[in-house]
């Protein structure tokens, strides 16, 4: 299954948990694995707390401190080298267990699309087995 997400800011985390859970339900898999993947070089998938928005802001701020804009060789080409680095470190996919037909996320966990070079339209691929 695949869906798109329209991001609104240069850097943001977008909660996609409900849409991923819909994909799990559609596959009617009660026990298995769910792979969430973004086929983009400047976006990633994160599993983390989303109940407190400050956690998301802290993650984005930490990545910005590690990979600031404007100091990388690729910036001379597209000006988005830090987005590539952040996406590489965070990773384009996460695998989440499916138990009882639901994502086996912790109480405070959510699946989020991490945008590092928006706003853009992003594809999210979900495979459940």
Res. 75 pLDDT band, cuts 50 70 90: low
| Domains of the chain with bracketed CATH | 2-128 (2.60.120.460)
What does the pLDDT average to over 35-60? Answer: 96
The edge-to-edge listing of strands for the beta sheet with 121-128 is 2-6, 121-128, 31-37, 93-99, 102-103
* Residue 63 structure tokens: 């990545």
| Distances from the Cα of 21 to the Cα of 29, 92, 126, angstroms | 11, 18, 10
Kindly state the percentage of the chain with pLDDT values over 70: 99
Res. 72 pLDDT band, cuts 50 70 90: confident
pLDDT exceeds 70 at position 53: yes
Nearest alpha-carbon partner for 47 in 39, 32, 61, 59: 59
């Amino acid at each position: 299954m695949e869906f798109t997400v329209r991001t609104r800011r240069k850097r943001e985390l977008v909660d996609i948990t409900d849409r991923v859970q819909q994909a799990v339900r559609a596959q009617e898999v009660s026990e298995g694995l769910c792979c969430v993947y973004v086929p983009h070089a400047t976006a990633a998938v994160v599993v983390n707390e989303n109940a407190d928005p400050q956690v998301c802001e802290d993650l984005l701020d930490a990545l910005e401190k590690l990979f600031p804009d404007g100091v990388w060789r690729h910036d001379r080409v597209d000006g988005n080298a830090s987005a590539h680095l952040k996406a590489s470190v965070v990773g384009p996919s996460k695998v989440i267990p499916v138990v009882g037909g639901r994502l086996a996320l912790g109480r405070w966990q959510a699946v989020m699309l991490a945008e590092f070079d928006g706003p853009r339209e992003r594809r999210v691929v979900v495979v459940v087995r």
